[in-house]
Structures are given as structure tokens and as C-alpha cells.
Amino acid sequence: ETVMTQSPATLSVSPGERATLSCRASQSVSSNLAWYQQKPGQAPRLLIYGASTRATGIPARFSGSGSGTEFTLTISSLQSEDFAIYYCQQYDYWPPRYTFGQGTKLEIK
Amino acid sequence: QLQLQESGPGLVKPSETLSLTCSVSGASISSTTYYWGWIRQPPGKGLEWIGSFSHSGTTYYSPSLKSRVTISVDTSKNQFSLKLSSVTAADTAVYFCAKTVAGLYFDYWGQGTPVTVSS
């Protein structure tokens, strides 16, 4: 089973600054990687899939990069509504299996 | 507008079976393009995939939960259900149903329903 490890656990950043979140896979997942944003009391929202493709309606300040075992989510200029918990998730094509990272909490500095 | 809505008891006794239903509107669960599944989130913790199914009705389960999980489908009602047997306090969580594109990433989620396992 592929283990996903996110770092840091908590990231403190000021509004307007750039945030960089990392996700590492215990084995190669190619580009089968998604990122989600979750706010308190809400369901996760898909941000990025295929490691770098923004989902419908996601602002351009969100970008994803990486392949294999190392992935990055970058938020170029933090807005107040971006402070949340972010999860990465890998997906296996066959059989379908999904593993989430433990999350990174992005908080206001 | 695609919507998913979870329903079911919010309290389950230890050793009993947790049963939840996901009602889908705005898309057919029989669509060949989509897979559908269940994910849970214990209080203050991260997300855990429970299981999914494809348009053919084939089910796929998390290895860690496989012995206790059953996902069933009612295409006439456009609903699918989760049963988790022999529950313990460790199964206390918010349970989400969700849709995937071609069995890959989860693009639509229900709002989630909290379930507490307690006597």
C-alpha cells in the first residue's frame, strides 16, 4: 500500500504571501495525484488532479507540480478564504484504491 | 447540478452494523464514466477511503476494512449504501459519499453525516 506523507503539518503564512505544501509518496504514483481543500464542517473540495490540472472553477493562484514520489501545491498569493486544511491523495488505477495524506493545516500568520 | 446526500442513524451501538445511504441527483449512478464511493473522517483526523463501485456494480474495498464492509447499489432509486459490521468506537467518524471521474479523483462530495459508536 502506498503511504502519502505531507509536510509540514502546520504552515503559518501571511495573507498575500506564497504558500508551498509538500506531499511525498512511499512509491511512485506517476501523476496520479490530487489535492483537496477542506474547511471546518465542510466536505473536501477538489483543487488539482493529475498532479497539475486545476479542477473546474479553481482560481489560477492554485498550482500543482511534481510526479513520481514528490509533489507540491503552491498558492501564489494567499487570500483569507485559503486558510484551511489541504490533503493530497493518490489513486491506483487497478484495482481502484485511494490513499490520502494526513493533511497540512494552513493558518494565518 | 449534481448533488449527493448521505442519510442514516447518527448513533450506533458497539458490535452492531452501521448502515448509511447516499442519494444522488443530477447524474446516474449507472453511468459508465463514473465510480462512486465512501470516505470517512474521524474527529480531528484525516480522510480514509472505505470503498467504491463501478457502473458494472463491481465493488472495491479498502484492504483494512474489507472484512467488515459491504457497498450495495439501488439503480432504481439512484442510491447506494454502506454497511460496516462489528463497529467499535474507532469507527466514529463523519462519513462522506463521493463521485469519482473514471475511478480516479473525487470531484463531487456529499456534505457528510456524523456517526458515533457508543452504547
Give the alpha-carbon dihedral of B78, B84, B88, B92, to 10 degrees: -20
Q: Above 80 in pLDDT, residue B68?
A: yes
Strands (E) in B16-117, as ranges, are 18-25, 34-41, 48-53, 59-61, 69-74, 79-84, 93-101, 106-109, 113-117
B107 touches chain A (CB under 8 A): yes
Tell me what the mean pLDDT of segment B4-17 comes to.
98
pLDDT score of A94: 82
Chain-chain contact of A55 with B96 (C-beta, under 8 angstroms) = no
Chain-chain contact of B105 with A101 (C-beta, under 8 angstroms) = no
Tell me what the mean pLDDT of segment B89-98 comes to.
98
Q: Average pLDDT, whole number, for chain B?
A: 95
Residues of A in contact with B112 (CB under 8 A): 43
Chain-chain contact of A100 with B112 (C-beta, under 8 angstroms) = no
Chain-chain contact of B48 with A36 (C-beta, under 8 angstroms) = no
More confident residue, B102 or A9: A9
Chain-chain contact of A49 with B112 (C-beta, under 8 angstroms) = no
Q: Above 90 in pLDDT, residue B101?
A: no
List pLDDT tens digits, range A18-36.
999 999 999 999 999 999 9
List pLDDT tens digits, range A57-109.
999 999 999 999 999 999 999 999 999 999 999 998 788 899 999 999 999 99
List pLDDT tens digits, range B31-56.
888 999 999 999 999 999 999 999 88
Tell me what the mean pLDDT of segment A39-64 comes to.
97
Cα diameter, chain A: 42
Residues of B in contact with A102 (CB under 8 A): 46
Chain-chain contact of B47 with A87 (C-beta, under 8 angstroms) = yes
> Is the preceding peptide bond at A59 cis, omega within 30 degrees of 0?
no
CA distance A35 to chain B (A): 9
pLDDT score of A43: 98
Residue among A102, A67, A95, A103 at smallest CA distance from A1: A95
B51 touches chain A (CB under 8 A): no
Q: Above 80 in pLDDT, residue B103?
A: no
Chain-chain contact of A103 with B46 (C-beta, under 8 angstroms) = yes
Residues of B in contact with A34 (CB under 8 A): 104-106
| First-residue to last-residue Cα distance in chain A | 36
pLDDT score of A107: 96
Q: Is the dihedral of CA A89, A86, A105, B111 positive or negative?
A: negative
B116 touches chain A (CB under 8 A): no
Q: Above 90 in pLDDT, residue A38?
A: yes
d(CA A19, CA B24): 36
pLDDT score of A92: 85
d(CA B58, CA B45): 29
B103 touches chain A (CB under 8 A): yes
